[in-house]
Amino acid sequence: MSPKKLIALTKAGIEESLQFRLGAFVTLFANIIYLVLVYFLWKAIYASSGTDVVNGMTFEDTMIYLILATALFNFLEMYVVWDMSRNIQSGKIILDLLKPMEYKAYTFWSYSGNHVVLFFLTFIPTFIIVMFVTHGAIPMGINLVYFIVSVILALVVNFHIEMLVATLCLYTESTWGINIVKETIVLLLSGASIPLAFFPEAARKVVGMMPFRAVYDVPLNVLLGKGGADTLSGAASLWGFQAVWAVILIAASTLFWNVSVRKITVNGG
Amino acid sequence: MSKLEKNKNSRGLGFYLSIYRKILIQDLKTKMSYRADFVISTFGMILTNLSGFVTFLILFRNFPTINGWDYYHMLFLYGFSLIALTPVQCFFDNNWNLRFMVRSGDFIKYCFRPINVFFYFMSEVFDVKGLGQLAFGLGTLIYAWYHIGVAVTVGSIALLVLYIFTASLFMIAIMNFAAATAFWMEGSGNVMVIMFRFKDFAKYPASIFNSVFRFLFTFIIPIAFIAYYPSLAILAPDEEPLMTGIAPLFGLLVFYLSYHFWMRGVKRYDFTGS
């Protein structure tokens, strides 16, 4: 597949997402109110605790972590599960399967445009606001480059988790159920709803080895220079963690997809 | 039509209850034919509640109190909010389909029946998953109640029932407003998702907000009424704020307004003649 064709898919995705600018702005606005809620909650929590540092996290650390996790969540969010189940029910999936391109790659590159738009419309504005509000609590330097690498790896991991779960839709029509299970597990174990640093020691060790951490927790640590990510070798080991999971998930989702796609049943179309 | 219109208004509660029962049975029959879906969805619902609970435990492991609220009082709020959010989940879940039906034009079928459009539309879906949440909420509330040691009397139970009913009206109203925006604009799905997300904060005491946001979450997006104000009627009956006292009336008012907003949307839909 030539890069030119892939870029064409990305461009189509960008144009499609720009059709829904209003949606993006509503999301941005709502996020701000949502973050205000998060702010007051954690402010009250830290005010009641009596100490400034809990489990190595100050109030500012926690806030930056949670705000950027939300921003990252909005930017990485995919609806592969929904789209695929809708396409199966309508029969449209047949058309996608007949395309002269592997289905998974087609889906990935179709989504890439959406990610590009959301990165600029939601992540960058949030990042800039955090940067100004915290007066430089986020280090500005080579870590930004490390962060980009980590985000791309996170994107790949996230996409293949989605793909694995979406393939289940070939077996059952319970899209809502499957999706809510996936979302709950990813949000809790990736550190998006409560920083992993607050988890009990034993739980943190287990959760630390799971792939969900590669989606939110690792990129944020790389960005904030935590967990040894302030050096190149430290960052590289975190990338390694992400890459290993990316490879495992790519293999697993490809295998699962190839086995399952033969079972596809489409009513009409 | 005018005769029908008159008939429609003179029909009593009994008539609507019997219709609701009939539609409910049809809906449950449909659901039963997708048994796997039912099992997976229920599992998903329980998992969400469990995850919320785990988050809660982790939080309290690190921080013993939040703004003067200890573990059991917070659990009380949490359980209360889960119960208060059950009616919107069980009885008003069809709001989520409104935008698709308005867009595709299928909504017109609801306008041609000689019964209340809002009633007919909502009665079509009963969400069984909500019952899992109810059970989880009840368990949490009873556990917290026992540990706090509030006396169990006929009075306190009656108060609890009244205030849970009150609290549920607020979330129903919020979702009615959010869903009805579909009659005016595209992208109402986003509005619904956002409003639905705010409910996650209903389980924390509203006293953590500064005055501006406390006002916002009391009068504009009234999530403080989903658990905080109503719970105070039971947890702190001697020093309950004014908002707790007026909550039942305010709840009815907000629900009534949301119903009117929704019906106004229906009128507008008729007008477009699609």
Question: Measuring CA to CA, how many Å separate A264 from each of A73, A89, A122, A257?
Answer: 31, 11, 37, 10
Q: What angle do CA B219, B200, A125 make, to 5 degrees?
A: 85
Q: What is the pLDDT of residues A12-71, one digit of tens each?
A: 777 766 666 666 677 677 777 888 888 888 888 888 877 888 877 888 888 888 888 888
What's the complex ipTM? 0.76
CB of A95 closer than 8 Å to CB of A103: no
Instruction: State the virtual CA torsion across A180, A182, A183, A184 in degrees, nearest 10.
Output: 80
Question: Measuring CA to CA, how many Å separate B48 from each of B41, B42, B89?
Answer: 11, 10, 14
Q: Does A26 touch chain B (CB under 8 A)?
A: yes
Closest CA to B269 of B192, B180, B198: B180
Q: What is the pLDDT of residue B176?
A: 95
What does the alpha-carbon distance between residue B245 and residue A147 come to, in Å, rounded to a whole number? Answer: 52
Find, in chain B, the residue whose alpha carbon is nearest to that of A203.
Answer: B58
DSSP state of B202: T
Q: Hunting for tokens 């998903």 — which residue is that? A: B44
CB of A24 closer than 8 Å to CB of A121: yes
Q: Which residues of A touch B213 (CB under 8 A)?
A: 36, 40
Which of the pair, A110 or B149, is modelled with greater confidence?
Answer: B149
Report helix, strand or coil for A54: strand
CB of B90 closer than 8 Å to CB of B126: yes
Question: Measuring CA to CA, how many Å separate B30 from each of A239, A267, B37?
Answer: 48, 18, 11
What does the alpha-carbon distance between residue A151 and residue A159 come to, in Å, rounded to a whole number? Answer: 12
| pLDDT band, very low/low/confident/very high, at A267 (cuts 50, 70, 90) | low
Q: What is the pLDDT of residue B274?
A: 47
Per-residue tokens: A120:
């600029």
Q: Per CB distance under 8 Å, which residues of B are interface residues toward A?
A: 34, 36-37, 39-45, 47-48, 51, 54-55, 58-59, 61-68, 185-187, 190-191, 194, 197-198, 201, 204, 208-210, 213
Q: What is the pLDDT of residues A195-215, one digit of tens each?
A: 888 888 888 889 888 999 898
Per-residue tokens: B51:
């995850």
Q: Does A30 touch chain B (CB under 8 A)?
A: yes
Buried b (16+ CB within 10 A) or exposed e, A133-150: eeeeebeeeebeebbebb
Q: What is the pLDDT of residue A172?
A: 76
Give how far B22 is from chain A: nearest CA, Å. Answer: 25
Q: What is the pLDDT of residue A91?
A: 75
Give how far B252 is from chain A: nearest CA, Å. Answer: 26
Give how far A61 is from chain B: nearest CA, Å. Answer: 15
Asked if A37 and B201 come within 8 Å (Cβ–Cβ), the reply is yes
- In the beta sheet, which residues pair with residue B80? none
DSSP string, A5-37: HHHHHHHHHHHHHHTTHHHHHHHHHHHHHHHHH
Find, in chain A, the residue whose alpha carbon is nearest to that of B53.
Answer: A188
| pLDDT band, very low/low/confident/very high, at A269 (cuts 50, 70, 90) | very low
Whether the per-residue pLDDT at A101 is higher than 80: the answer is: no
- Cα A182 to chain centroid distance, Å, stands at 12
Q: What is the pLDDT of residues A111-157, one digit of tens each?
A: 777 788 778 877 888 888 888 877 777 777 788 888 889 999 999 99
Q: Count of domains in chain B?
A: 1
Nearest CB among A40, A46, A181 relative to B44 is that of A181
- In the beta sheet, which residues pair with residue A54? A57
Q: Which residues of B touch A187 (CB under 8 A)?
A: 51
Q: Which residues of A touch B204 (CB under 8 A)?
A: 41, 44
- Determine the residue among A188, A190, A206, A207 to mutate to test chain B binding: the one whose Cβ has the most chain B Cβ atoms within 10 Å: A188
Q: Does A55 touch chain B (CB under 8 A)?
A: yes
Asked if B62 and A184 come within 8 Å (Cβ–Cβ), the reply is no
Closest CA to B208 of B76, B69, B67: B67
Asked if A180 and B186 come within 8 Å (Cβ–Cβ), the reply is no
- Determine the residue among A18, A38, A40, A66 to mutate to test chain B binding: the one whose Cβ has the most chain B Cβ atoms within 10 Å: A40
Nearest CB among B37, B44, B68 relative to A180 is that of B44
Mean pLDDT of chain A: 82
- Cα A206 to chain centroid distance, Å, stands at 20
Q: What is the pLDDT of residue A57?
A: 82
Which of the pair, B114 or A256, is modelled with greater confidence?
Answer: A256
Question: Measuring CA to CA, how many Å separate A178 from each of A85, A167, A183, A261, B53?
Answer: 11, 11, 9, 18, 20
> Domain span at residue B166?
2-272
Provide the residue-wise pLDDT of chain B in tens; the chain has 274 residues. Answer: 444 555 555 567 888 888 888 888 888 887 777 777 778 888 888 888 888 888 888 888 888 888 888 889 999 999 999 999 999 999 999 999 898 888 888 888 888 888 889 998 998 888 887 888 898 899 999 999 999 988 888 988 999 999 999 999 999 999 999 999 888 887 777 788 888 888 888 888 888 888 888 898 899 889 999 999 999 988 888 887 888 888 999 999 999 999 999 999 998 887 655 4
Return phi, psi of residue B66, to 5°.
-125, 115
